[in-house]
Structure 1
């Protein structure tokens, strides 16, 4: 019980620290003219679990921006995960997307990422700490404006989830930090993201998830705050026996 209290206290302190940081940044950004947007994300995902250690995922997602009035991008993502240890998971993923470049139309991009995640449980709570490296680039020719774009990045996410056999609802909360690498420059944190989600377990029919992201850009002359509402459906197929 003592360990559980320490873990909860540590996670709560982290949340309060990052939340306080964002409030301070937002207060300062008001003076410099912060821009904002409201986006909507919708996705469907199929997961295949094999022999307890392997997980294959296929996702289709559509994202709307400009106050959810136009398509920003849509993509397909395929990922493969392997549980190295009971508390450690390794995952690789490839994403192909079409991004709306307004007057230039839709342009194809690809993104690859490698994840390493550490996880543990405490009674009805589960905690997940994920480190991700990602590389994004445009397929085909790249114009001069995109040569110095942010292609390499690191992300760190801390997530807590509550699950009980007595109720079908699974609330969760996450904080994620984005580090981006720009050509001929040092790394820097450029975005923080808070996520509150609520999933409803439909048992053998899958799971529905409703989530809300709050993103805040950092260290920018014109910082941007983005609110995101999303809805997702996840269907899991398990084949645990050899």
Structure 2
């Protein structure tokens, strides 16, 4: 008897293309300089089953990869309350390239965030929900000069499908951003959809590849952005 070929990976790939391709075409027609690239290198230290720490460096390119958008260093710690629920906090120092207006150049920004995450499994699906409070500030402008913290509440849902005998399990996430800042109207200002996968090289670390679609909300001419991302993480476990 002939062996039956598992067609799940192929079907999932076709489904992914059917969603991503129309979004990509729509984004290209609305904005000719909308392709960004994010690359990340990070190292994680697992102190024990409860505590872990991570240091990351990221570079972001914009305008069809022709300009640096920003680069930053981020330090984050996570505490696992139990196998499903965790709390984390992080801080990020950002060098942001301002290419608009009369005054252009690199600016120093500082951002911190607090996360609450819950994860569980349903059959072959892994689901992860994250609620984040985020606070970002321009260090070169004071409150007296009219600078107030740019704050967001973000809710993200992540789904991963486990395919038997397949190392590149597909992942999908959707995230909504709610903006609030003194002196400005608040509300939902953008959403983000991400499709990707990762490859675990065991003791050599993990590589992740993804495509991300981002679109502004509640504006007359919403900007759309296509993002391709590549990241590498190396994990050290305390023995």
- The TM-score, its normalising length taken from structure 1, stands at 0.80
- Contact residue 126 and residue 161 of structure 1 kept, 8 A: yes
Unaligned runs of 5+ in 2: 1-18
Could you tell me which residue of structure 2 aligns to residue 208 of structure 1? 207
Q: CA 1:177–1:145 in structure 2 vs 1: closer, same or farther (change >3 Å)?
A: farther
| Contact 2:80/2:86 (<8 A) preserved | yes
Q: Do the aligned partners of 1:89 and 1:117 also contact (CA within 8 Å) in 2?
A: yes
Alignment partners' CA distance in 2, 1:145 and 1:208: 43
Equivalent position of 1:136 in the other structure: 136
Partner Cα separation in structure 2 for residue 57 and residue 181 of structure 1: 28
Superposed structure 1 runs of 4+ greater than 6 Å apart: 143-146
CA RMSD of aligned residues (A): 2.7
Gap runs ≥5 in structure 1: 1-18
Q: How does 1:150-189 map to 2 (within 5 A)?
A: 151-163=150-162, 166-189=165-188
Point out which structure has higher relative CO (alpha carbons under 8 A, 6+ apart). 1
The one-character-per-residue Cα deviations of 1:100-130 (angstroms, maximum 9, x if unpaired) are 1235321110000000011111233211000
Give the equivalent residue in structure 2 for 1:10. none
| Corresponding residue for residue 40 of structure 2 | 43
- Alignment of 1:199 with 2:180, yes or no, is no
Deviation at 1:34, TM superposition (A): 4.3
Structure in which a larger fraction of residues adopt helix = 1
| Cα pair distance change 1:229/1:134, threshold 3 Å | same
Q: Any conservation in 2 of the 1:35–1:222 contact (CA below 8 Å)?
A: no
Query: How many equivalent pairs are there?
Result: 214
| Alignment-derived partner of residue 61 in structure 1 | 58
Q: Distance in 2 between matches of 1:107 and 1:229?
A: 24
- CA deviation digits over 1:44-80, x for unaligned, max 9? 0111112111111111000000111000000000000
- Cα–Cα, structure 1 residues 163 and 234, in superposed 2: closer, same or farther, change >3 Å? farther
Q: Distance in 2 between matches of 1:186 and 1:128?
A: 30
What's the CA shift for 1:176? 0.3
Residue 97 and residue 71 in structure 1: after superposition, are their counterparts in 2 closer, same or farther (change >3 A)? same
Corresponding residue number in structure 1 for 2:118:
118
